[in-house]
Amino acid sequence: MCMVDDKDVPRDRSGHLVVNGAGGVKKTKVVNGQEKILQRFISVLIPTNEHMLELPGAQDTLPYVGMLTAPHLGPDEEL
C-alpha cells in the first residue's frame, strides 16, 4: 500500500472519499517457550466493495483480497 493524492481517490455521489480502513487485533503466540504479543493486520475493504461492480464468473476465477500481497513496482524499481 502507498500514499495517494486525494484527487486520485474515488468519491461517492455526495463527494466523500471512498477509503478502506486498517486495524490490528492482538494475538498471543508462544515462541521457543516464551509468550510473545503480536498484532495481526486486518484490512477493512467494505467501503470499496460497496462501490465496485459485480464481476461475472466462477468464484475461483475472481479477484480476491490475497492479491493485495502481490508486489507493485514502480517503473524504476526491481525485486
Q: Which letter does DSSP use for residue 14 in this model?
A: T
Query: What are the cell numbers at 35?
Result: 509468550
Percent of the chain surpassing pLDDT 90: 15
Query: What are the cell numbers at 68?
Result: 493485495
Structure confidence at residue 35 (pLDDT): 95
Structure confidence at residue 11 (pLDDT): 86
Q: Decide if pLDDT at 27 tops 80.
A: yes
Q: Decide if pLDDT at 32 tops 90.
A: yes
Mean pLDDT of the chain: 79
Which one-letter amino acid corresponds to residue 34? Q
Residue 20 CB neighbour total at 10 angstroms: 13
